[in-house]
Amino acid sequence: MALSTVAPSAAAPDWPAALKDATITAAIALALGIFVSGFRTFDQGGLKFDYLIVDVLVACVVIFVGRLGLTLSSSAPVATLGLGVAALLAAAASFAAGKSSFMPSVFLSVVCAGAGLLLVIRGGWALAGRSGGGAQAIHQGGSALSQAMRLAFPWLGAGLFTFAVVMPFLPFADQRVMDLAILILTYVMLGWGLNIVVGLAGLLDLGYVAFYAVGAYTYALISTQHGLSFWVCLPIAGMMAAFFGILLGFPVLRLRGDYLAIVTLGFGEIIRIVLLNWIDFTKGPDGVGGIPGATLLGHPFAETAPEGTTTFHQWMGIDFNANHRLIFLYFVILALAMITNFVTLRLRRLPVGRAWEALREDEIACQALGINPTNTKLTAFAIGAMFAGFAGSFFAAKQRFISPESFVFIESAIILAIVVLGGMGSQLGVVLAAVILIGLPEWFRDLGQFRMVSFGLAMVLIMVFKPGGLIAHRDPTIRLHPANSRSGGR
């Protein structure tokens, strides 16, 4: 064995114990898996069994190897490395063999490759830590990496923004990509809005979609019944949503934590049910259709202009192209989202933003410092709701049709998931999480039934490896010693 070559400080690996442990793990996996995955029923003139015992056995072998490798990673990293390479080779051979592979399914090959990769990383990591000064190097490398990431954050933001601006003109930006980009940006904006309430002020709001609905219906009803344009309705929709935020906030903001969450959840449902049942006003489940789209300086994006207007392509003197409308909508939502971002970043550095964060940290201490907790929470609620209202009115202008079905609880849950996964209070984190949570399920439509599994897997992986969210780091809003490296090093 190559084990004897490692540094003398290492404890000798306890092979029998490791083997026993791995055997037990594999046996448990077998016992659990055989009933869950070992049989498959199918209908062929009566219910029949399909036996998948081989699948389960192969999975158990992979589990045995993986467990053995993980156990040995601290005492015998070389063995871990070897097992990992073996697993990777096996997976590669299986992929190369294609249909005639010894692996019963592609899924198992993928699992095997994943296990091999994990073992190689663990083994390599432990080995690097072993060799003289390796641990030190890793530690320094780690802190240098986090330091570099911290420095890169502002540039990353600027880079993403630049990319977002030029994206519609890049060759790959077809209609599908643009649609997806608009969808993602809408969720980014909603995430940024909710970030004020949840991330900064620490108020768990499970009914955020209600304000989105208020904004959407405000625009839809005013524009269809009174003929006001998108740009006039936008501020009205924001104000209406903020008004509803205050309306909800007054009675409930003295509640804390779970209780507040339940009340906001109820509020979200109340709004949806009112929209569904107040048929005279909202047309109920039929929804509001024929909503006018947004115009650019009064020029609609359409093939033929309504009376008294010229369409965008006539005005510009170019040929009609359906993509123009998408590109225009894209820039509208980009601008709205960037306004949200700008206002949030600005507010964070103002006393009200610091008071929000202080409230999140300790409400009683805030009160002792003369901060009015109710008013401070109300501002957070109202401002968050206002941005949801803007986003809602954009949504109505883009879809041209809205119904209560668009504002169900799962929307609130997704927006909240974006904020939490992104890292509470982190603006960049919201962008990354929105791309992952909204973008991945769209890109992975080809995966068919595995699409939602990949969604769940992404969430689980983020929470396991980054429990504080993708970007959990918080920079102080103000520094006394701007070039102080000491505070960074600690």
Residues that bind other proteins (CB under 8 A): 343, 346-347, 350-352, 354-355, 357-358, 360-362, 364-373, 379, 474, 476-481, 484, 486-487, 490
Q: Determine the longest span between alpha carbons in the chain, in angstroms.
A: 88
CB-facing half-sphere around the CA of 294: CA atoms within 13 A: 23
Looking at the Cβ atoms of 143 and 367, the one nearer to other proteins is: 367
Least distance to other proteins, CB of residue 350, Å: 4
Looking at the Cβ atoms of 266 and 373, the one nearer to other proteins is: 373
Least distance to other proteins, CB of residue 105, Å: 47
Distances (CA, A) of 246 to 239, 250, 344, 378: 10, 6, 19, 6
Looking at the Cβ atoms of 392 and 425, the one nearer to other proteins is: 425
What tokens appear for 302 in the block?
A: 């359409």
Q: Are 426 and 198 in contact (CB under 8 A)?
A: no
Least distance to other proteins, CB of residue 369, Å: 5
What tokens appear for 131 in the block?
A: 């060799």
Nearest to 315 by CA among 328, 325, 329, 300: 300
Looking at the Cβ atoms of 385 and 435, the one nearer to other proteins is: 385
Helix (H) or strand (E) run with residue 50 in it: strand 47-51
Looking at the Cβ atoms of 349 and 400, the one nearer to other proteins is: 349
Least distance to other proteins, CB of residue 374, Å: 9
Q: How far is 30 from 406, CA to CA, in rounded Å?
A: 44
Looking at the Cβ atoms of 36 and 364, the one nearer to other proteins is: 364
Q: Would you give the DSSP letter of residue 199?
A: I
Write the burial class of residue 479 (CB in 10 Å: 0-12 exposed, 13-18 middle, 19+ buried).
Answer: exposed
What tokens appear for 105 in the block?
A: 């399914």
Least distance to other proteins, CB of residue 146, Å: 15
Looking at the Cβ atoms of 99 and 490, the one nearer to other proteins is: 490
Least distance to other proteins, CB of residue 482, Å: 9
Looking at the Cβ atoms of 131 and 372, the one nearer to other proteins is: 372
**3-class SS string, 110-165:** HHHHHHHHHHHHHHHHHHHHHCCCHHHHHHHHHHHHHHHHHHHHHHHHHHHHHHHH
Q: Are 349 and 477 in contact (CB under 8 A)?
A: yes
Write the burial class of residue 203 (CB in 10 Å: 0-12 exposed, 13-18 middle, 19+ buried).
Answer: buried
Least distance to other proteins, CB of residue 425, Å: 9
Residue 288 backbone phi and psi in degrees, to 5: -105, 120
Q: Is 475 helix (H, G, I), strand (E, B) or coil?
A: coil
Least distance to other proteins, CB of residue 347, Å: 6
| Amino acid (one-letter) located at 68 | L
What tokens appear for 351 in the block?
A: 């006393």
Looking at the Cβ atoms of 176 and 474, the one nearer to other proteins is: 474
Looking at the Cβ atoms of 40 and 346, the one nearer to other proteins is: 346
Least distance to other proteins, CB of residue 372, Å: 5
Give just the sign of the alpha carbon dihedral 131, 136, 139, 143. Answer: negative
Looking at the Cβ atoms of 140 and 375, the one nearer to other proteins is: 375
Residues belonging to the chain: 490
Nearest to 184 by CA among 418, 397, 399, 408: 418
Helix (H) or strand (E) run with residue 325 in it: helix 322-348
Least distance to other proteins, CB of residue 359, Å: 9
Q: Are 425 and 199 in contact (CB under 8 A)?
A: yes
Q: How far is 441 from 438, CA to CA, in rounded Å?
A: 6
Looking at the Cβ atoms of 143 and 175, the one nearer to other proteins is: 143
Least distance to other proteins, CB of residue 422, Å: 17
Q: Would you give the DSSP letter of residue 307?
A: T
Least distance to other proteins, CB of residue 363, Å: 10
Q: Is 207 helix (H, G, I), strand (E, B) or coil?
A: coil
Q: Is 43 helix (H, G, I), strand (E, B) or coil?
A: strand
